[in-house]
Amino acid sequence: MLGKFFQKPGKEEGERVPPGQHLAKGFPVLTYGATPQVSTEEWEFGVWGLAKPATFSWSDFMTLPQHEFTADFHCVTHWSKLDVKWTGIKVTDFMSLIELDPKVAHIMEHCYGGYTTNISLKDFIREENFFAFKVFGEVLPDEHGGPMRLVVPHLYAWKSAKWINGLEFLAGEELGFWERNGYHRRGEPWAEERYSSAFNS
Ligand SMILES: Nc1nc2c(c(=O)[nH]1)N[C@H]1C(S)=C(S)[C@@H](COP(=O)(O)O)O[C@H]1N2
Ligand SMILES: [Mo]
């Protein structure tokens, strides 16, 4: 049964698949709860907390430079997909629009539908992170987080918030939805940071 959905990684690919992961066939969808349907006209993105509060529209995002990205995608439920092709906007380009309080060290990602996930400022502002609005050349489908999602390639994909609509800037770490439910605060796939240590002890 599993063979229908998973492939054993080949040699070179194998080196790119973190421990405990299998290659997925296709591009699975993993969503907790209902799939929000948000048009680009109604889509709005807010920043608040320890930042100058601001709201950005779809067209505000579209004035930022757009790039093609190729990134591996690792879900904590043991599937990985290599070389996902996205179109999007660099987190660092977006962050140049934001006035941050120097005390900021953590962020809560907020989404349409109420999903949240936490990330440190350091993990967030990496050059390879981006907001994606296309995948494999097509407009990002609702189920993959359209119209806009975050992609953080170096962490498990639960940090890559779909239907993202805001960032809350924090001095101290707070836990998001899966993190409050036993998943790791950081979620680095090469270190297999799957579950919080509180659940391991
Ligand atoms: N808003 C929101 N974002 C989310 C999720 C979710 O349930 N809601 N699931 C996360 C998880 S666990 C994974 S593996 C990826 C899956 O992305 P995909 O459905 O595009 O494959 O989205 C992440 N982002
Ligand atoms: Mo996941």
- In this predicted structure, what is the pLDDT of residue 10? 72
Q: Please indicate, yes or no, if residue 2 is contained in any of the structural domains.
A: no
- In this predicted structure, what is the pLDDT of residue 8? 72
Q: Please indicate, yes or no, if residue 47 is contained in any of the structural domains.
A: yes
**Residues near 13 by Cβ (< 8 Å), separated by ≥ 6?**
23, 82
Distance CA 49, CA 109 (A): 12
Task: Look at strands 44-49 and 164-170 and give their pairing.
Answer: parallel
By residue range, what is the domain housing residue 135? Answer: 42-200
Instruction: State the distance from the centre of ligand 1 to the C-alpha of 102, rounded, in angstroms.
Output: 30
What residue owns the CA closest to ligand 1's atom 9? 31
Q: Which atom of ligand 1 has the smallest separation from the CA of 178? A: 12
Question: Distance between the two ends of the chain, CA-based, in angstroms?
Answer: 33
Domain total of the chain: 1
Q: Please indicate, yes or no, if residue 29 is contained in any of the structural domains.
A: no
What SS3 state is found at 13? helix
Instruction: State the distance from the centre of ligand 1 to the C-alpha of 9, rounded, in angstroms.
Output: 23
Distance CA 8, CA 22 (A): 6
Q: Please indicate, yes or no, if residue 73 is contained in any of the structural domains.
A: yes
Question: In the numeric block, which tokens belong to residue 142?
Answer: 């609702």
- In this predicted structure, what is the pLDDT of residue 5? 64
Q: Please indicate, yes or no, if residue 133 is contained in any of the structural domains.
A: yes
Please report where in the chains the tokens 């959905």 appear, as a residue.
5
Task: Look at strands 130-135 and 67-74 and give their pairing.
Answer: unpaired
- In this predicted structure, what is the pLDDT of residue 201? 41
Distance CA 69, CA 151 (A): 10
Going through 13-128 in order, the beta strands assigned E by DSSP cover 22-24, 44-49, 54-57, 67-74, 79-90, 106-111, 116-120
pTM as predicted:
0.95
CATH of the domain at 148: 3.90.420.10
- In this predicted structure, what is the pLDDT of residue 7? 74
- In this predicted structure, what is the pLDDT of residue 17? 97
Pocket residues for ligand 1 (CB within 6 Å)? 27-32, 75, 111, 113, 115, 144-145, 157-158, 160-163
Collect the ranges in the chain with pLDDT lower than 50. Answer: 1, 200-201
Task: Look at strands 106-111 and 79-90 and give their pairing.
Answer: unpaired
Question: Under the phi-then-psi rule, with left for phi > 0, alpha for psi from -120 to 50, and beta for the rest, what region is 113?
Answer: left
- In this predicted structure, what is the pLDDT of residue 199? 54
Measured torsion, CA atoms of residues 178, 182, 188, 190, in degrees rounded to the nearest 10: -130
Q: Please indicate, yes or no, if residue 11 is contained in any of the structural domains.
A: no
Q: Please indicate, yes or no, if residue 150 is contained in any of the structural domains.
A: yes
Q: Please indicate, yes or no, if residue 15 is contained in any of the structural domains.
A: no
Distance CA 178, CA 115 (A): 9
Distance CA 84, CA 92 (A): 20
